[in-house]
Structure 1
């Protein structure tokens, strides 16, 4: 399931300082050094950027597509005396961001994928199924909203979206109920949609809200999150210098699968041929894995911060091999029939 970045323990107040997920593991993999330039692709509340700047006399370029997050970074920018630059930009466009700043290459890239705790906790942003607000979910405020998708997608299209991006087994029944309800009146607020889903799915004993997967699917679609992730991985491969570190924290299986497929491909040195099919030539590996498989948060962290429980960290070091590029579909990004609403986002 999806969890927010810059999460915080649920018993703290709204003004509490947000806690970056797997911070110790991120810093260990990123290993910031004096004089380096490191890109934080998901600034959020600034937790990773702050920790990186405190760990070394380096420069951090932080990106966030959410203008509220960028505006909230002004104090941190002032505190670190010009070593931090915060840019309103999607992380898939990191090459453009550093080109505009005259930075030729990066020593590290960290990506913390998903919705931020700040976004979840603001009812007006429409990310939460527990808070009443407009059914929006747009991180950057542009393009179709979640309400637009709920209103405009055909029943089969909506079911495919919920099933694929939300990994929801009751997707067809949920879509059917949504279409029946929208025929009575447009579904424009979060609690109405959550109630529709809950009536279909029912309450489970695991404590997970029945609307979690449906809201996840809509949020991923609205923000084109999976293709943005692949774009960021390709861009990091292009702009990391040899020896540069890539660190990615993801929060659900769709994201983690993309990162795993990308790094498996980029660290592979043989095609795995058999006696019936000889090995095919493989381009030189562009990354070397820093650890075997995905790292998970410690028991202590998940006890302190339940929102971190589904986090997975994968990391690798850039080699000197030329970048490869590729097709997003080859790394697990599904093709969904919503292009008429999302333009190039599907």
Structure 2
């Protein structure tokens, strides 16, 4: 825009004044809407996203100040120096003029649309539909495996210096891939339970909650595969005759789970291992379930909360699958909130800018 004024013979100061009077308004509108868009990330549930939005917004503000004030002033200074001294100028032709290379390239599409508008529209339509079809096949989700390196690294990596040269093969990835190919992939869900664990029915209620589990939970004879204080007591009873007799004396229905005198049962167990399942207050415990690793995270999460509802007391499922699924839900929720705030904020800003510029 500045060159367009200069080629008409207007002096440097007046040309830059006309340019900035027009372009600063456009820069301010574009910069303002961009700042609003990035600041909308402040509603995100993730601190890194909020920090990114704030830093990006400040960056746009400073970019506007640099290109709106500093660069025009520098351009005026440089051109005035060129007038005083024989400093060569590379080009003074406006970039968008018809005689410039850019102008000729841009005029090509105009020529095509004038001579064969129907063909041009068909080509644009085909390209748009093709792009849409291709985009529909792009996976919009991601999994933990997406963050892992390939089993084997590319050959050209081996030419890097030794301190930063990766191995030819990642052994842990290779073993993991072998297990996934040849064995059923499983995952784990932890259930944290708050209830008086010295109450007589405490262990039986844990056992009943794992009966007839959902399809994503691995099971054996209609009982969910799990690791808990119940399974620990059973394993100790099988290995220790004294504990087995103690359990049998307090087992009302002969299912291997004690119903009475639970404090006495706990006292008979090794304290170091018991801490893995019970807190010192004996008012909370955890149950670790094995789930289908190939099942959808959302389905596993729903099933985990369904199992949590079968417990007596306050039960909260957790684990990588649960956290990962809920994190994705938070990302989607934050994205929608940011989008709504951006639309509202940008619309209000544009209305205000139009009112200021046009005086309406």
Same fold (TM over 0.5): no
Taking structure 2 as the reference length, the TM-score comes to 0.19
Specify the structure having the higher radius of gyration (Cα).
Answer: 2
Larger % of helix: which? 2
Larger % of strand: which? 1
Taking structure 1 as the reference length, the TM-score comes to 0.19
